[in-house]
Amino acid sequence: MSTNYYFTNSAEERDDPKVHIGKRSAAGAWCDRCGSTLTRDGTQYVHKSSSRQLDACPICYTSRDDFKAACSFTLSMMAHVDTLKELAVLAPDVTIVADEYGRLFTASQMLEIIDDCKMIFQSGSWFS
């Protein structure tokens, strides 16, 4: 299941890249030891249903059974990370982010959500 995140202080349309921070998505198995995905064709294919999965880490050969599920985060604009870092200092207790379910987050909480993701992508366009 994926979740979209938005800045709450904007009158712009939610899907506008200036407002839409990005989307957290399930991204399959991940080897914490090596920082590798089990997707045969690499991280850029973790969201493709046709991607083939390996039975072991291609680097350390750890069994698939020892892998953990990972998430990715696709930013609409990389600059959002810098903006969130600034806001975490300037307004640490202010909730300035909302997810598509209406839950509110501070800039620091949003940065933690992004940091918890093993793969970071950037779209640079309108997406949802």
Q: Is residue 123 part of a domain?
A: no
| Tokens (6 digits) for 127 | 């997406």
pLDDT tens digits for range 67-101: 888 899 999 999 999 999 999 999 999 999 999 99
| Total count of domains within the chain | 1
Q: Rg of the chain's alpha carbons, rounded to an integer?
A: 16
Report phi then psi at 107, rounded to 5.
Answer: -60, -40
Q: Is residue 94 part of a domain?
A: yes
Tokens 């709450």 belong to residue: 8
Structural domain range at position 66 = 3-118
pTM of the predicted protein model: 0.85
Q: Is residue 128 part of a domain?
A: no
Q: Is residue 125 part of a domain?
A: no
Q: Is residue 127 part of a domain?
A: no
The reported pLDDT for the residue numbered 96 is 95
Q: Is residue 29 part of a domain?
A: yes
pLDDT tens digits for range 13-68: 777 888 999 999 988 888 888 888 878 776 776 776 667 788 888 889 988 888 88
